[in-house]
């Protein structure tokens, strides 16, 4: 949300931006949690309900809404006039953040003068909201995968079907990680991936003996799930030729002659679950 507000100000030229994420899905209510360019704290923590004010109208309609002069606008309700007046806002645009057809948040951009906000401004505000939508969609996917990943205390504690589920989730999490722009969230995900790897299984094996790059591990994880080079490329956002190059490099480091040998060697070295 913070990065999206910075982008909104930079691309629209609007001096004020603020927004928040849904806190109560049943009541369609969100709180303004991020402010950028504001002069006061009047908007922070403001609870926006669907149908109320400009933002509430945007939530109810699931589309951008704008007013040229907020205090005088006739097509919105005015529950939030006091906070808006404290900040001195006049022209305001509100854009919903919609993920899987559900409103998950709102982004606002505003001027302290009553000017018409043109299509360029509206398009840029919508693009900023799309950034948040993509981030939330990735976070949702990550949480669903984490819910499936219940690493056992030892690899012997689960049957073949459970072990394959862990391997499948590990590969999907590794493929998801590069799409996450939030560094903290990405590191958290990779830490979970590491927990799914039980460690060396062959006598004398040690992870320090073989060092694979993150992308080589990503490719091997896809190969381990049965993906072709083309399928792995689609999952990882790479070209098939690039996937092939990473696979060749991993095979060379593992001393493997085939894809299957590479996967087996990586598992024995504790690099894959």
Each of the 273 residues of the chain gets a pLDDT tens digit; together they read 888 999 999 999 999 999 999 887 677 889 999 999 999 999 999 999 999 999 999 999 999 999 999 999 999 999 999 999 999 999 999 999 999 889 999 999 999 999 999 999 999 999 999 989 988 888 888 777 767 665 455 445 555 556 777 777 787 888 777 777 777 777 877 887 887 776 665 444 444 577 899 899 989 988 888 889 998 898 888 999 999 999 999 999 999 999 999 999 998 888 888
pLDDT at 134: 84
pLDDT at 181: 72
Q: What is the DSSP letter of 222?
A: H
pLDDT at 197: 79
**This model's pTM is above 0.85:** no
**C-alpha to C-alpha distances, 85 to 74, 81, 89, 149, 165, nearest whole angstrom:** 16, 6, 6, 49, 55
Q: Which residue from 182, 149, 185 is spatially nearest to 166, judged by alpha carbons? A: 149
pLDDT at 189: 78
CA 166 centroid distance within chain? 22
Contacts of residue 164, defined as CB under 8 A and 6 or more positions apart, other chains included, come to: none
pLDDT at 114: 96
Q: In sequence order, which ranges of the chain are alpha helices (DSSP H)?
A: 2-12, 53-61, 81-87, 119-148, 160-176, 183-195, 214-224, 229-236, 240-254, 259-268
pLDDT at 204: 45
pLDDT at 103: 93
CB of 17 closer than 8 Å to CB of 8: yes
pLDDT at 206: 44
pLDDT at 191: 80
pLDDT at 105: 95
């Amino acid at each position: 949300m913070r990065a999206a507000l910075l982008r909104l100000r930079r691309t629209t030229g609007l001096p004020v931006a603020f927004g928040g994420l849904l806190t109560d899905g049943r009541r369609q209510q969100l709180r303004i949690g991020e402010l950028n360019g504001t002069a006061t704290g009047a908007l922070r923590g403001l609870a926006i309900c669907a149908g109320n004010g400009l933002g509430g109208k945007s939530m109810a309609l699931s589309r951008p809404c704008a007013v040229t002069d907020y205090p005088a606008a006739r097509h919105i309700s005015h529950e939030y006039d006091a906070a808006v007046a404290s900040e001195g806002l006049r022209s305001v645009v509100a854009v919903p953040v919609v993920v899987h057809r559900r409103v998950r948040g709102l982004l606002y951009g505003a001027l302290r003068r009553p000017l018409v906000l043109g299509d360029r401004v509206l398009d840029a505000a919508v693009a900023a909201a799309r950034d948040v939508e993509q981030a939330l969609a990735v976070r949702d996917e990550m949480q669903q995968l984490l819910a499936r990943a219940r690493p056992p205390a030892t690899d012997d504690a689960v049957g073949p079907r459970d072990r394959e589920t862990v391997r499948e989730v590990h590969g999907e999490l590794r493929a998801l990680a590069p799409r996450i722009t939030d560094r903290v969230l990405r590191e958290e995900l990779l830490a979970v991936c590491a927990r799914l790897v039980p460690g060396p299984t062959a006598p004398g094996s040690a992870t320090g003996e073989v060092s694979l790059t993150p992308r080589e591990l990503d490719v091997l994880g896809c190969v381990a799930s049965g993906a072709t080079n083309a399928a792995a490329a689609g999952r990882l956002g790479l070209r098939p030729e690039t996937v092939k190059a990473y696979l060749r490099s991993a095979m060379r480091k593992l001393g493997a002659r085939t894809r299957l040998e590479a996967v087996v060697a990586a598992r024995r070295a504790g690099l894959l679950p």
